[in-house]
Amino acid sequence: MLAFAESVAIGAGKVTLEYFHKEIEIDRKDDDTPVTIADRKTEEYIRERVQNEFPTHSILGEEEGESQGKSPYRWIIDPIDGTQSFIRGVPLYTVLIALEYEGEPQLGVIHVPPLRETVSAAKDVGAFYNGTPCHVNSTECLADAWVQVTDYAELSKRRPEFTKRLLAASFSCRAWGDAYGYLLVATGRVDVMIDPIMNIWDIAPLKPIITEADGVFTDLDGMDNAMGTSSLACNSKLHKELMELI
């Protein structure tokens, strides 16, 4: 199933590249977020691959909602995570695929089409970067840590005191956001990734990837929540320090 998910994510990435750096129409969804033909065509591709391979499985996608199957397995897909980056030609958007069994995430894939980077993991199997085992960094304190947040303004609005402490305590605070940030944590290139707001298709692949890369994945209250509305990924030592700041 992991090999299948990796193959589908890479194939979906090729669909996105057909529209990347092209002039395409941008629509607005009910929540005022952007969506394009690239999002829709990519989700169609993923759904077709999954339905052909596992016709009894359920599928939940950001653009087309949920199709119920008879199996306890459910695929969760975000065809383009980081549509804002995609429509501006920034090569840090991703394709996200997750599989859950009876509500528990079993595997996750983050694929970055323009960069040809893929991080994937399955429960009790390990985490892999382009096929090679990967691990979180061993940085021991925030004073030495590179910290990422998708949107510091949103974090500051929701958790102002924590944001002030975080900026003061960390070595570097950047914003290589969305799922790309979690790929960087899982491969040890940065130390912490934080999101104050998450939807199910944003968060579904992340816990298997981070935990199988020997990291810790919780919400911002420290709860071991694979499908929460906020997220924090790092190693265990940094997680303890971050909880003290929170």
Q: Are 182 and 202 in contact (CB under 8 A)?
A: no
Residue 225: predicted pLDDT: 85
Residue 31: predicted pLDDT: 73
Residue 66: predicted pLDDT: 87
Tokens linked to 221: 């209250």
Calpha distance 28→26 (Å, rounded): 7
Residue 177: predicted pLDDT: 87
C-alpha count within 13 angstroms, C-beta hemisphere, residue 122: 10
Q: What is the largest CA-CA distance in the chain?
A: 51
Mean pLDDT in each 10-residue stretch from start to end of the chain (246 residues)? 98 98 86 87 97 97 90 97 94 98 96 98 98 98 97 95 97 94 98 96 96 98 91 98 96
Return the number of other C-beta atoms located less than 10 Å from residue 241's C-beta.
18
Domains and CATH numbers, the chain: 2-133 (3.30.540.10), 142-245 (3.40.190.80)
Calpha distance 83→20 (Å, rounded): 11
**DSSP one-letter string for 65-76:** EEE--SSSEEEE
Residue 65: predicted pLDDT: 85
pTM for the model stands at 0.95
